[in-house]
Amino acid sequence: MATTKRWVDANGKQHGGLPFVKNTLGQLLGNVVYLGKVRHKDEFHEGQHPAIVDANLWRDVHEVLDRNHRTAGAFQRNRYGALLKGLLRCKPCDAAMVHSPVSTNHRQYRYYVCTNAQKIGYEHCPCPSLRAASIEQSVLERLRAIPFNNTKLRGSPIAAAVGALLERPAETIPSELAASVRVLVESVEHDARAGRIGLTLTPEAADCLSPRAGA
């Protein structure tokens, strides 16, 4: 396992050398030292050292982190790596479509089911359930076809998510792919009557589109 850098302060005390885990990354992303600032209790002050991270990039990264924090509970329970968990909606019913795995004869099948159909009857929805693999693949194909601007992507907080989708899709495990989708997509609407899928990108992803491009 990777560890943090080891170093010794002026008093001879050793620091670092700890396992590099999720919390370590969170501490790094929240360290205002990189902005050229220092923290004293709950206050931030200008430091005597230069910033090594652009303030706009810092703001963009923390907007993504704050949004992910608000939905972290639901996503951490995404044990099946459902790409569209919490994102997919049934447009005719204006209702969420929830991920619903079913096991039959020792085999597992995954679906997204319209919550309106669950509540008032499947006959009231033009498409009460969707095969998860099919709708997820359709969304991935749409995302991979979006013309992102490479110049805008450099230094953007969504760059890693785009890379996971485009550069190494076969190597990306389902949970990581689902996390990448959530960075790029705010919502997905399935319109069974019109036979189309609508994507709404996150503000960060929309900002990185090539001119005149759209989802």
Query: What digits encode the pLDDT tens for the residues 92-151?
Result: 999 999 999 888 877 888 999 999 999 999 999 999 999 999 999 999 999 999 999 988
Q: Output the pLDDT for position 125.
A: 96
Contacts of 210 (CB under 8 A, 6+ apart): 147, 148, 149
pLDDT grade, residue 22 (50/70/90)? Answer: low
Q: Which amino acid is at 94?
A: D
Q: Output the pLDDT for position 187.
A: 95
Strands (E), the chain: 7-8, 14-15, 37-40, 43-46, 88-90, 95-104, 107-114, 129-131, 185-191, 196-201
User: 3-class DSSP state for residue 136?
Assistant: helix
For residue 99, give the nearest of 121, 84, 77, 119 by alpha carbon: 84
Q: Which amino acid is at 156?
A: S
Strands (E), 18-143: 37-40, 43-46, 88-90, 95-104, 107-114, 129-131
C-alpha distance from residue 130 to each of 92, 98, 112, 125 (Å): 14, 10, 5, 12
User: 3-class DSSP state for residue 59?
Assistant: helix
What are the pLDDT digits (tens) for 32-82?
787 888 877 767 788 888 888 777 776 777 766 665 555 544 444 556 678
Kindly report the pTM of this predicted structure.
0.62
Which position has the higher pLDDT, 138 or 165?
Answer: 138
Calculate what percentage of the chain has a pLDDT beyond 90: 36
Q: Which two tokens stand for residue 58?
A: 């810092």
- CB of 125 within 8 A of CB of 115? no
Neighbour tally for 183: CB within 10 Å: 20
